[in-house]
Structure 1
Protein backbone atom coordinates (compact mmCIF):
# COMPACT_ATOMS: atom_id res chain seq x y z
CA UNK A 1 0.00 0.00 0.00
CA UNK A 2 1.41 3.39 -0.93
CA UNK A 3 1.40 6.41 1.36
CA UNK A 4 -1.46 8.04 -0.55
CA UNK A 5 -3.80 5.10 0.01
CA UNK A 6 -2.73 4.74 3.64
CA UNK A 7 -3.89 8.21 4.65
CA UNK A 8 -7.31 8.40 6.32
CA UNK A 9 -7.84 11.92 4.94
CA UNK A 10 -10.06 12.36 1.94
CA UNK A 11 -8.06 15.41 0.86
CA UNK A 12 -4.83 16.90 2.06
CA UNK A 13 -4.82 20.34 3.65
CA UNK A 14 -3.00 21.66 0.57
CA UNK A 15 -5.67 20.26 -1.75
CA UNK A 16 -8.42 21.85 0.35
CA UNK A 17 -6.62 25.19 0.33
CA UNK A 18 -6.15 25.03 -3.45
CA UNK A 19 -9.88 24.48 -3.89
CA UNK A 20 -10.91 27.05 -1.26
CA UNK A 21 -8.78 29.83 -2.71
CA UNK A 22 -10.76 29.51 -5.94
CA UNK A 23 -13.69 31.30 -4.25
CA UNK A 24 -16.11 28.94 -5.99
CA UNK A 25 -19.65 28.76 -4.63
CA UNK A 26 -19.95 26.19 -1.80
CA UNK A 27 -21.65 23.54 -3.94
CA UNK A 28 -18.89 23.76 -6.56
CA UNK A 29 -16.14 23.59 -3.92
CA UNK A 30 -17.81 20.45 -2.58
CA UNK A 31 -18.05 18.98 -6.09
CA UNK A 32 -14.40 19.82 -6.77
CA UNK A 33 -13.35 18.14 -3.52
CA UNK A 34 -15.37 15.03 -4.39
CA UNK A 35 -13.88 14.99 -7.90
CA UNK A 36 -10.32 15.23 -6.56
CA UNK A 37 -10.85 12.44 -4.04
CA UNK A 38 -12.71 10.34 -6.61
CA UNK A 39 -9.84 10.84 -9.05
CA UNK A 40 -7.38 9.66 -6.39
CA UNK A 41 -9.55 6.63 -5.64
CA UNK A 42 -10.05 5.87 -9.32
CA UNK A 43 -6.28 5.96 -9.89
CA UNK A 44 -5.94 3.24 -7.27
CA UNK A 45 -8.75 1.16 -8.78
CA UNK A 46 -7.22 1.63 -12.21
CA UNK A 47 -3.81 0.47 -11.00
CA UNK A 48 -5.24 -2.61 -9.27
CA UNK A 49 -7.44 -3.55 -12.23
CA UNK A 50 -4.89 -2.68 -14.92
CA UNK A 51 -7.54 -0.65 -16.71
CA UNK A 52 -7.59 3.05 -17.64
CA UNK A 53 -9.95 5.10 -15.48
CA UNK A 54 -12.10 5.86 -18.53
CA UNK A 55 -12.73 2.11 -18.93
CA UNK A 56 -13.56 1.22 -15.33
CA UNK A 57 -17.04 -0.07 -14.61
CA UNK A 58 -19.24 0.29 -11.53
CA UNK A 59 -18.54 -3.28 -10.38
CA UNK A 60 -14.76 -2.71 -10.39
CA UNK A 61 -15.15 0.56 -8.50
CA UNK A 62 -17.60 -0.97 -6.01
CA UNK A 63 -15.33 -3.92 -5.34
CA UNK A 64 -12.41 -1.61 -4.60
CA UNK A 65 -14.50 0.61 -2.30
CA UNK A 66 -15.66 -2.45 -0.37
CA UNK A 67 -11.98 -3.29 0.29
CA UNK A 68 -10.74 0.28 0.94
CA UNK A 69 -8.90 0.17 4.28
CA UNK A 70 -9.85 3.81 4.92
CA UNK A 71 -13.58 2.98 4.89
CA UNK A 72 -13.80 0.33 7.59
CA UNK A 73 -16.39 0.04 10.37
CA UNK A 74 -13.58 0.59 12.87
CA UNK A 75 -13.05 4.02 11.35
CA UNK A 76 -16.77 4.79 11.52
CA UNK A 77 -17.85 3.89 7.99
CA UNK A 78 -20.71 1.46 7.49
CA UNK A 79 -22.12 -0.23 4.41
CA UNK A 80 -24.60 2.56 3.73
CA UNK A 81 -21.75 5.08 3.55
CA UNK A 82 -19.86 2.82 1.15
CA UNK A 83 -22.94 2.70 -1.10
CA UNK A 84 -23.27 6.48 -0.94
CA UNK A 85 -19.57 6.91 -1.61
CA UNK A 86 -19.76 4.50 -4.56
CA UNK A 87 -22.47 6.68 -6.09
CA UNK A 88 -20.36 9.82 -5.55
CA UNK A 89 -17.32 8.24 -7.21
CA UNK A 90 -19.35 6.96 -10.16
CA UNK A 91 -21.08 10.34 -10.53
CA UNK A 92 -17.66 12.01 -10.50
CA UNK A 93 -16.70 10.15 -13.65
CA UNK A 94 -18.97 12.41 -15.74
CA UNK A 95 -17.22 15.70 -14.89
CA UNK A 96 -13.81 13.98 -14.85
CA UNK A 97 -14.42 12.70 -18.38
CA UNK A 98 -15.52 16.19 -19.45
CA UNK A 99 -12.35 17.68 -17.93
CA UNK A 100 -10.24 15.03 -19.62
CA UNK A 101 -11.76 15.93 -22.97
CA UNK A 102 -11.54 19.69 -22.41
CA UNK A 103 -7.90 19.59 -21.31
CA UNK A 104 -7.00 16.82 -23.79
CA UNK A 105 -5.39 14.70 -21.08
CA UNK A 106 -6.21 11.35 -19.48
CA UNK A 107 -8.17 11.54 -16.22
CA UNK A 108 -5.11 10.14 -14.45
CA UNK A 109 -3.11 13.21 -15.49
CA UNK A 110 -5.58 15.92 -14.48
CA UNK A 111 -4.24 18.39 -11.93
CA UNK A 112 -6.04 20.17 -9.12
CA UNK A 113 -5.72 23.54 -10.91
CA UNK A 114 -7.40 21.96 -13.96
CA UNK A 115 -10.21 20.53 -11.81
CA UNK A 116 -10.73 23.92 -10.15
CA UNK A 117 -10.63 25.75 -13.50
CA UNK A 118 -13.25 23.40 -14.94
CA UNK A 119 -15.61 23.85 -11.98
CA UNK A 120 -15.06 27.63 -12.13
CA UNK A 121 -16.00 27.67 -15.82
CA UNK A 122 -19.09 25.56 -15.11
CA UNK A 123 -20.14 27.82 -12.20
CA UNK A 124 -19.61 30.95 -14.30
CA UNK A 125 -21.75 29.49 -17.10
CA UNK A 126 -24.50 28.45 -14.66
CA UNK A 127 -24.53 31.92 -13.05
CA UNK A 128 -24.58 33.69 -16.43
CA UNK A 129 -27.47 31.50 -17.59
CA UNK A 130 -29.42 32.20 -14.39
CA UNK A 131 -28.88 35.95 -14.81
CA UNK A 132 -30.22 35.80 -18.36
CA UNK A 133 -33.38 33.95 -17.34
CA UNK A 134 -36.49 36.12 -16.91
Structure 2
Protein backbone atom coordinates (compact mmCIF):
# COMPACT_ATOMS: atom_id res chain seq x y z
CA UNK A 1 0.00 0.00 0.00
CA UNK A 2 1.03 3.56 -0.64
CA UNK A 3 1.65 5.87 2.26
CA UNK A 4 1.07 9.16 0.43
CA UNK A 5 3.04 10.97 3.09
CA UNK A 6 6.31 9.15 2.46
CA UNK A 7 6.27 7.22 -0.83
CA UNK A 8 6.54 8.42 -4.40
CA UNK A 9 5.20 5.11 -5.78
CA UNK A 10 3.66 2.07 -4.16
CA UNK A 11 5.41 -1.28 -4.27
CA UNK A 12 2.73 -2.51 -6.68
CA UNK A 13 3.33 0.44 -9.01
CA UNK A 14 7.10 -0.11 -8.92
CA UNK A 15 6.62 -3.80 -9.67
CA UNK A 16 4.34 -3.00 -12.60
CA UNK A 17 6.92 -0.61 -14.06
CA UNK A 18 9.73 -3.13 -13.49
CA UNK A 19 7.74 -5.77 -15.39
CA UNK A 20 7.24 -3.44 -18.37
CA UNK A 21 9.16 -3.93 -21.59
CA UNK A 22 11.04 -0.66 -21.23
CA UNK A 23 14.63 0.53 -21.04
CA UNK A 24 15.90 1.98 -17.76
CA UNK A 25 15.25 5.45 -19.17
CA UNK A 26 11.70 4.45 -20.14
CA UNK A 27 11.07 2.99 -16.69
CA UNK A 28 12.28 6.20 -15.05
CA UNK A 29 9.94 8.23 -17.27
CA UNK A 30 7.04 5.90 -16.48
CA UNK A 31 7.69 6.22 -12.74
CA UNK A 32 7.73 10.02 -12.97
CA UNK A 33 4.54 9.95 -15.03
CA UNK A 34 2.79 7.73 -12.47
CA UNK A 35 3.84 10.03 -9.62
CA UNK A 36 2.68 12.99 -11.72
CA UNK A 37 -0.65 11.30 -12.47
CA UNK A 38 -1.39 10.71 -8.81
CA UNK A 39 -0.23 14.23 -7.91
CA UNK A 40 -2.25 15.88 -10.67
CA UNK A 41 -5.38 13.93 -9.68
CA UNK A 42 -4.95 15.07 -6.09
CA UNK A 43 -4.32 18.71 -7.07
CA UNK A 44 -7.37 18.59 -9.33
CA UNK A 45 -9.50 17.17 -6.54
CA UNK A 46 -8.28 19.71 -3.97
CA UNK A 47 -8.72 22.71 -6.27
CA UNK A 48 -11.81 21.57 -8.19
CA UNK A 49 -9.91 22.28 -11.41
CA UNK A 50 -9.70 19.78 -14.28
CA UNK A 51 -6.13 18.58 -14.83
CA UNK A 52 -6.03 20.12 -18.31
CA UNK A 53 -6.65 23.55 -16.73
CA UNK A 54 -4.14 23.34 -13.86
CA UNK A 55 -1.63 26.17 -13.91
CA UNK A 56 2.12 25.58 -13.48
CA UNK A 57 2.18 27.79 -10.36
CA UNK A 58 -0.53 25.67 -8.72
CA UNK A 59 1.40 22.49 -9.51
CA UNK A 60 4.67 24.02 -8.24
CA UNK A 61 3.05 25.03 -4.95
CA UNK A 62 1.66 21.54 -4.45
CA UNK A 63 4.99 19.83 -5.28
CA UNK A 64 6.80 22.11 -2.82
CA UNK A 65 4.41 20.99 -0.08
CA UNK A 66 4.37 17.26 -1.03
CA UNK A 67 5.38 15.36 2.14
CA UNK A 68 7.08 12.64 0.08
CA UNK A 69 9.60 15.22 -1.18
CA UNK A 70 10.38 17.01 2.07
CA UNK A 71 13.54 15.01 2.73
CA UNK A 72 14.45 14.71 -0.95
CA UNK A 73 16.47 17.87 -1.26
CA UNK A 74 16.45 21.62 -1.37
CA UNK A 75 14.32 24.12 -3.27
CA UNK A 76 16.36 23.54 -6.43
CA UNK A 77 15.42 19.86 -6.37
CA UNK A 78 11.73 20.66 -5.86
CA UNK A 79 11.91 23.11 -8.77
CA UNK A 80 13.49 20.39 -10.91
CA UNK A 81 10.81 17.92 -9.80
CA UNK A 82 8.08 20.43 -10.64
CA UNK A 83 9.48 20.66 -14.18
CA UNK A 84 9.39 16.86 -14.42
CA UNK A 85 5.73 16.82 -13.36
CA UNK A 86 4.87 19.51 -15.90
CA UNK A 87 6.66 17.56 -18.64
CA UNK A 88 4.92 14.36 -17.57
CA UNK A 89 1.59 16.18 -17.80
CA UNK A 90 2.14 16.54 -21.56
CA UNK A 91 2.89 12.82 -21.89
CA UNK A 92 -0.13 11.94 -19.77
CA UNK A 93 -2.30 14.03 -22.07
CA UNK A 94 -1.01 12.01 -25.03
CA UNK A 95 -1.62 8.76 -23.17
CA UNK A 96 -5.16 9.87 -22.31
CA UNK A 97 -5.89 10.82 -25.92
CA UNK A 98 -4.57 7.42 -27.01
CA UNK A 99 -6.85 5.72 -24.48
CA UNK A 100 -9.81 7.82 -25.62
CA UNK A 101 -10.32 9.62 -22.33
CA UNK A 102 -8.99 12.30 -20.04
CA UNK A 103 -5.94 12.34 -17.79
CA UNK A 104 -8.32 11.99 -14.83
CA UNK A 105 -9.48 8.66 -16.27
CA UNK A 106 -6.01 7.16 -16.79
CA UNK A 107 -4.94 4.14 -14.78
CA UNK A 108 -1.38 3.16 -13.93
CA UNK A 109 -1.71 0.21 -16.32
CA UNK A 110 -2.71 2.53 -19.16
CA UNK A 111 0.26 4.81 -18.48
CA UNK A 112 2.66 1.87 -18.59
CA UNK A 113 0.99 0.52 -21.73
CA UNK A 114 1.37 3.91 -23.43
CA UNK A 115 5.08 4.02 -22.59
CA UNK A 116 5.50 0.51 -23.98
CA UNK A 117 3.71 1.47 -27.19
CA UNK A 118 5.81 4.62 -27.51
CA UNK A 119 9.00 2.57 -27.02
CA UNK A 120 7.96 0.18 -29.80
CA UNK A 121 7.56 3.12 -32.18
CA UNK A 122 11.15 4.18 -31.44
CA UNK A 123 12.56 0.83 -32.57
TM over 0.5: yes
1:104 to 2:80 alignment: no
TM-score by length of 1: 0.85
How many residue pairs get aligned? The number is: 123
1:28 to 2:20 alignment: no
**Gaps in structure 1 of 5+ consecutive residues:** 128-134
Match of 2:109 in 1: 113
TM-score by length of 2: 0.92
**Gaps in structure 2 of 5+ consecutive residues:** none
What is the deviation of 1:77? 2.4
Give the alignment's Cα RMSD to 1 decimal: 1.6
Greater Cα offset, 90-99 or 100-109: 100-109
Q: Which 4+ runs in 1 deviate beyond 4 A?
A: none
**Aligned partner of residue 8 in structure 2, secondary structure:** coil
**Larger radius of gyration between Structure 1 and Structure 2:** 1
